[in-house]
Every structure is written in C-alpha cells, then in structure tokens.
Structure 1
Amino acid sequence: MDGTDDYRDHPVRAYVITSGRAHPSRNTIRPETLLVAVPGMPAPVSAGRPHLALLEMCQGVLSLAEAAAHLKLPVSLVVVIASDLVDTGHLLIRSTSPRYAQPDRDLLEKVLDGLRKL
C-alpha cells in the first residue's frame, strides 16, 4: 500500500467491507490491542483491500488504533476486519503484559515500607 488510498472516499460502504457485520466475532480486540501478521501465511483468497492492507502493515507489531489511523477507517470497522483475520489465523494478538501477572512481592514490600515511613 503506497499510502495514497483513502477508504473513506471509496464508493463501497463500510458494511459491505464486513459483509454487513457491525460487531467482531471476538470481544477481546480493543484499540490498544497489538496485532502482528503470521509470517509466511498467504493472504486469504476472499480478502478485500482493507484486509490485505491491514495484513501488510502488521508485518511488524502495530496497535489496532494505529492501523485504523493508517487505513483512514473507523476503529470499529478495523476491529471487525482484524477479528476476521484472527479467526482465519492470519493475524495474532500480542499482549504487552499478561492480565493476571502477579507483582513482585519484594517490590510490594518496599513500597509498603516506604509508605509507612511517610
């Protein structure tokens, strides 16, 4: 993609791009979700231009919000597109940190000691 495409001016409506779906198949994809394309995976046969553009730009790790900005599409639409590509195994979701990560006990004790000294 050379950066000159602006999908907002394209005559195809957003609901056509997503086959009429307004909601993704997964509710775990948020604007800050990091996406990366699966290396060596051929593009889906039925992929449209926005799907292919998203796959191309996600060769490195990219947040969904950044991808939406580059594609000049609403985040809600890119969530549906990304969800499709995750479902077909073309995109992976990367997390910056696990939700359930336990903080280091020593660090917590140092913070507690510091608070007690106040």
Structure 2
Amino acid sequence: MTGQDGPWLDSAAGRLVRPYTISNGRTRPSTAMDLLTLVMATGTTPLGYLGPEHAQALDLCEDPTTVAEIAGNLGLPAAVAKVLLSDLVDCGAVTTKPPMLHDNPTDRSLLEAVLDGLRRQL
C-alpha cells in the first residue's frame, strides 16, 4: 500500500472495501438518474457524516459532471456511484439535471465526437 492510496486501496489488490459497504448495502438510489445525468454541487455543506467517497464525489461535482464520469473517477460501479450521488441530492449538496439529448442519438457526427473523446482519455 502506498501513502497516497489511503487505507482503502492496495496497489496489488485494489479496493479493499467492497462497493456494497460503501453504499451501506443499498443497491438503488433514491433519485432517478442515468449515466448521462449531469450532477453539480450546490455549495450547501452536507449535515452529518457521509463518508470519504461522498466527499470525493462532491469534489468531482464542482463543475457539471456526468454520473458516468464520477463513477469512473471514483473507481466504483455506476450503481454504487448513483447511490452516493442520491445521498448528496437528498441532503441538498448536489443537484441533477437530465442530459441534453441530441435530436438523433445515432447521428454519426455525435458518435464520432464521443469516440474521439474516449480515445483522448486513453
């Protein structure tokens, strides 16, 4: 384990805490959202202790960010990230906005833009 990984990660084994532990065993978020839902911090400080993953998720929401991006940055399954984000919605720390859908989601130019973005990430 390296110093920057913290107590929950091991460089060889990966995450030492199971995802269902992070979400307190919950598998369904209280707020409906999909992978393209935009999440943004409201500036309201959550009352009470939510956990380190909640704080990390909240930090990622300073600018509008999709659920998929947050899940990827946290290294968590999307379902677990949705539960964490719904906790933050419930306490008023973040707000969600449905994705702005393109008129034609199978439009070639849109798909090429997504592919280019993914290639830049790799």
Q: TM-score, normalised by structure 1?
A: 0.69
Cα deviation 1:10-37 (Å, max 9, x = unaligned): 32211111111111112x2100000001
Name 2:27's counterpart in structure 1.
22
| 1:33 alignment partner in structure 2 | 37
Q: Which portions of structure 1, spanning 4 or more consecutive aligned residues, are displaced by more than 4 angstroms?
A: 4-8
Secondary structure of 2:48's aligned partner: coil
Aligned length: 93
Q: Give structure 1 stretches of 5+ with no counterpart.
A: 99-118
- Greater RCO, CA 8 A, separation 6+: 1
Counterpart for residue 77 of structure 1: 80
Q: Shift of residue 97 of structure 1?
A: 4.1
The Cα shift of 1:44 comes to 3.8
Give the RMSD, CA atoms, in angstroms: 2.1
Q: Does 1:90 align with 2:89?
A: no
**C-alpha distance in structure 2 between counterparts of 1:15 and 1:97, whole Å:** 31
Question: Is residue 68–residue 78 contact of structure 1 (8 Å, CA) maintained in 2?
Answer: yes
DSSP-derived class of the 2:53 partner:
helix
Query: Aligned pair 1:62/2:65, yes or no?
Result: yes
Contact 1:35–1:62 under 8 Å retained in 2: yes
Which residue of 1 is the match for residue 109 of structure 2? none
Deviations 1:21-79 (A, max 9, x none): 111112x210000000112x224421111100000110111000011111111111101
State which structure, 1 or 2, has the greater radius of gyration over its C-alpha atoms.
Answer: 1
CA contact (8 A) 2:36 2:99 kept: no
Q: Does 1:10 align with 2:15?
A: yes
Secondary structure, aligned partner of 2:45: coil
Which TM-score applies when normalising by structure 2?
A: 0.67
Q: Kindly indicate whether residue 34 of structure 2 is the aligned counterpart of residue 46 of structure 1.
A: no
CA contact (8 A) 2:38 2:64 kept: yes
Q: Which runs of 5+ in 2 are unaligned?
A: 102-122
